[in-house]
Chains A and B, each alone.
Chain A
Amino acid sequence: MTDPIESPAVEAEAAAAEIERHDYDVVVIGAGGAGLRAAIEARLLGKRVAIISKSLFGKAHTVMAEGGCAASMGNVNPNDNWMVHYRDTMRGGKFLNNWRMAELHAKEAPDRVWELETYGALFDRTKDGKISQRNFGGHTYPRLAHVGDRTGLEMIRTLQQKVVSLQQDDFKATGDYESHIRVFHETTVTELFKTDGRIAGCFAYYRSTGKFVRFDAPAVVLATGGVGKSYQVTSNSWEYTGDGHALALRAGATLINMEFLQFHPTGMVWPPSVKGILVTESVRGDGGVLRNSEGKRFMFDYIPDVFKEQYATTEEEGDRWYTDADNNRRPPELLPRDEVARAINSEVKAGRGSPHGGVFLDIASRLSAEEIQKRLPSMYHQFKELADVDITKEPMEVGPTCHYVMGGVEVDPDTAMSLVPGLFAAGEVAGGMHGSNRLGGNSLSDLLVFGRRSGAGAAAYVDALVDVRPAVAEADVDEAVKRALLPFSSATEGGENPFVVQLELQKTMNDLVGIIRKADEMEQALKALQDLAVRTRTVTVEGHREFNPGWHLALDLRNMLLVSLCVAKAALERQESRGGHTRDDFPVMDADWRHVLLVLSALGEDNVELVRQEQVPMRPELLDLFELDELKKYYTGEEIGGHRADQGLDKGAKA
């Protein structure tokens, strides 16, 4: 057992001397969909790989994904193809997406899903035995491969089992299961090491023992997921403290799009202890409708101009769409998430909410009890057991919950490498793919496409290094030990309980940089964060280093703080409303902001710098996939000068 420490310096030196050390070609931080797919790819390319995760192997956040994985396989509607998916993704993101990422994603998603079947995945089937696909908000055609409402579980289990199968192959070849892939679970990375400007490795502690461990490796893939735990009402778990975002910043990489957070329109609102837990969008995809306290399907009042042509204007048309999608427009309940979340917010504010401050989501009057239990088993289960509500008989009460961060590490679309040589990022921690708003189902496919690309990118990077691997500097290891032990040291004596500081941070972000934003509130938030920065640095913990949640949180807090600063700063800067960023004081979308990225970098432990950067213009042949009239809603006149629509080009490929 480790006793509370008297002198952190002495302790740090002693600890550094006996630190466990491992050498790998590629270290993947994160065992969700993105991390596992990255590790599989790097291993298939012959690399020795470590996978590190905070939770147990198989429990990463991906396990919670419900609705499905978007890929234009065209199994249900043969009109679907990558171009339609690409257009939907760009529209959903309000054209702020990194178009190259959106292109790669749309093109490669089907292959990535089919590949999962060869790993043993069992998706729900169509009548002719193919992978079934379901409707989701913002997707023109039924596109989401799914397994009931537990698609994330299927995905993570499949990838987990593929990792195991590779380990079994390695065992046959080398007699050691872990000769090429080893999983270090319940292990938290707290620092990245750099030498001569390149990645040299990383530093972590075992959660169970509190012992430190270092990984020497020329390539690190961040696949750490999101940041939602900085908000009070969220669908995200304790893992979502923005570690990868913060690690990247501290290593000198940049973040983009941090002002864009997705508030999922339907989280549970009651009882208080489950507030924020997700109610899958499949409920609406399968026919569920939103009503206010007057029983009105209010979404018909909230169809924005840019979407007028694609959505039904009457309940009758909307209802017909479920059975005849080719001849009717979809109901407005399936608008992109930002639109639905804002609409719910407005209804509640106008006094037309449900008893516990949400609105009603009704599936009971739309499907038979049997069908509900078959299509939405885990929702049925969740409401029955957590809220005493039988969703086959009564409507659910739902309201917006912080769900997904569009912002993340700025990466090269093809290789997933950040600005720091040797540092890669994929999945929710990477930025760009989803622009200002992510479509449901586009994350699971994103994990597969860019997980694979980051693994390949890291492997290629390691190959190009030949044998000059950057060495970890011992002084950096000592520093890392010291920082990790700070909450135990006398320097923080009399400091606060990390749980208390966390609550306050969550409240600040929820109240002041939430779903609807105002300049004065965000300024107030930035001030509050300054104060919280000091308190974060001095939180103190009790007890020992063995599985100590107080200590774990104390270290996560500094990441939450840095990331919250990024969100608040970028949100204050962007003077328009777009996707997951809504300004009360600048309520409209402004074409002059579309091509501007807000790029953040770290200034020390708890300050960030923001600069504006121009987006790279879309390749002409991709621009041509859109009608000129649609582009005019998003682009400035100058920008679409290059569109070749009026030059009589063949656009036959369009669906």
Chain B
Amino acid sequence: MSHDQHFRVWRGDSDKGELVDYPVLVNEGEVVLDIIHRLQQTEAQDLAVRWNCKAGKCGSCSVEINGKPRLACMTRMSTFDEDEVITVTPLRTFPVIRDLVTDVSFNYTKAREVPSFAPPEGVAPGEYRMAQVDVERSQEFRKCIECYLCQNTCHVVRDHEENKENFAGPRYLMRIAELDMHPLDAADRKEAAQEEHGLGYCNITKCCTEVCPEHIKITDNALIPLKERVVDRKYDPLVWLGNKIGIGRKSAKS
């Protein structure tokens, strides 16, 4: 079972670019990344795209498909109508390098600004004891495959280049929450989350959560609890509001 479909793929570099039309063959069971690969093998050998695992595990193949941030390897062609035009464009928040490949160094910079795990003093390797229930909260966040779809989607930076300097983005705010909830982490991270990493910019719209391919509840389980832990609640009226209308309260260690 195969059919023809109309693809439009953004081609270009940091200077200029355009959407190029390609009629393509689609076979049963294929995903968008398969179609991009077929284009490489046939008429567009130099079409640039990132990928590795082809199974939603590495977070390399992030693009926007019909305007929605998605993993190209996990977007099945059967989810579209056969006569639908499929438009594939690079992530909008990051500068284009070529075609579907963007410069994601913003994320590596932010990663480096978050202080690392602080091992507990006096606990030798092999002596770490943690209960499964206590590690599960941080484990949810460690499912992150660093696809940067949430970073790409969050409106704080998506349309506001100027905020990039002061805002770590959902992925790295979640990293702070992860360390803060690590049962044996010895550092206090709450102040810095607010002061240095821009937690205050987040107004809990949950757009990041919606695009996360790992279905991590970024806003409910990481960002809101982190906001709650930032000592003074008056700091952030949205948390108060969120609690009032029942958005994701989670018991958390303090």
Contacts and interface: CB of A to CB of B under 8 A. Distances in A.
B126 A114 contact: yes
Contacts of B125: 111, 114-115, 117-118
Nearest to A168: B116
Interface stretch (B41-49, B153-161, B197-205, B234-242): B41-49
Given A59-B60, A63-B53, A386-B55, A118 B119 contact: yes
Given A57-B108, A500-B41, A381 B29 contact: no
Interface stretch (B81-89, B128-136, B221-229, B243-251): B128-136
Interface in B79-130: 97-99, 101, 103-104, 108, 111-112, 115-117, 119, 125-126, 128-130
Nearest to B139: A122
Interface in B14-52: 27-31, 34, 40-41, 45-52
A542 B48 CA distance: 13
B138 interface: yes
B97 A271 contact: no
Contacts of A551: 46
A497 to B, nearest CB: 6
Contact of B58 (A59, A154, A273): A59
B112 A272 contact: no
Interface of A: 55-59, 61, 63-64, 73, 110-111, 114-115, 117-120, 122, 124-125, 128-130, 132, 147-148, 150, 153-154, 157, 161-162, 164-165, 167-168, 177, 208, 237-239, 270-274, 277-278, 378, 381-382, 385-387, 497-500, 503, 541-544, 546-551
A315 to B, nearest CB: 31
A177 B112 contact: yes
B233 interface: no
22 contacts: A55-B52, A59-B59, A59-B146, A64-B52, A117-B128, A122-B139, A122-B142, A124-B135, A128-B129, A129-B130, A161-B116, A168-B116, A208-B101, A271-B29, A272-B27, A278-B55, A378-B56, A497-B41, A497-B45, A498-B45, A499-B40, A546-B98
Contacts of B54: 237, 274, 277
A110 B139 CA distance: 21
B182 interface: yes
Contacts of B59: 59
B46 A544 contact: yes
A273 B27 contact: yes
B143 A150 contact: yes
Given A64-B53, A122-B142, A382-B55, 10 more contacts: A55-B58, A64-B55, A73-B126, A147-B142, A165-B116, A168-B112, A208-B98, A543-B46, A546-B48, A547-B98
Nearest to A147: B139
A150 B27 contact: no
A129 B129 contact: yes
Contacts of A500: 41
Given A381-B56, A500-B41, A546-B97, A125 B112 contact: no
A472 to B, nearest CB: 28
Nearest to B137: A122
Contacts of B129: 128-130
Contacts of A117: 125, 128
B13 interface: yes
Contacts of B207: none
B164 interface: no
B68 interface: no
Contact of A239 (B52, B55, B101): B52
Nearest to B79: A385
A549 B44 CA distance: 10
B39 to A, nearest CB: 10
Nearest to B78: A388
Contacts of B138: 122
Nearest to A503: B41
Contact of A153 (B51, B115, B117, B145): B145
Contact of B50 (A56, A64, A114, A278): A56
A164 B139 CA distance: 20
Contact of B74 (A129, A165, A385): A385
B46 A271 contact: no
Contact of A119 (B111, B117, B143): B117
Given A57-B108, A543-B45, A150 B97 contact: no
B57 interface: yes
Nearest to A116: B125
Contact of B132 (A125, A208, A498): A125
Contacts of B48: 546-549
A604 B46 CA distance: 30
Given A56-B104, A118-B125, A157 B55 contact: no
Contacts of B101: 208, 547
B183 to A, nearest CB: 9
B137 to A, nearest CB: 10
A392 B48 CA distance: 38
B28 A382 contact: no
Contacts of A161: 116-117
In this complex, the member of B46, B74, B143 whose beta carbon has the largest number of chain A beta carbons within 10 angstroms is: B46
A536 B129 CA distance: 55
Given A115-B125, A164-B116, A542 B53 contact: no
Interface string B141-175: 01111100000000000000000000000000000
A175 to B, nearest CB: 14
B29 A122 contact: no
Contact of B55 (A55, A59, A120, A277): A277
Contacts of B50: 55-56
A499 B97 contact: no
B57 A150 contact: yes
Nearest to B98: A547
Interface hub of A59, A61, A272, A277 (most chain B Cβ within 10 A)? A59
A124 B132 contact: yes
B42 to A, nearest CB: 9
Given A117-B128, A273-B31, A385-B74, A167 B112 contact: yes
A513 B98 CA distance: 38
A225 to B, nearest CB: 11
A387 B41 CA distance: 24
Nearest to A66: B57
A110 B126 contact: yes
B97 A153 contact: no
Contact of B97 (A73, A110, A208): A208
Given A114-B126, A499-B40, A64 B97 contact: no
A549 B111 contact: no
Given A125-B130, A543-B46, A549-B48, A64 B29 contact: no
B116 A154 contact: no
Nearest to A541: B45
Contacts of A541: 45-46
Contacts of B111: 164
A162 B28 CA distance: 43
Contacts of A125: 130-132, 135
B60 A55 contact: yes
Contacts of B13: 546
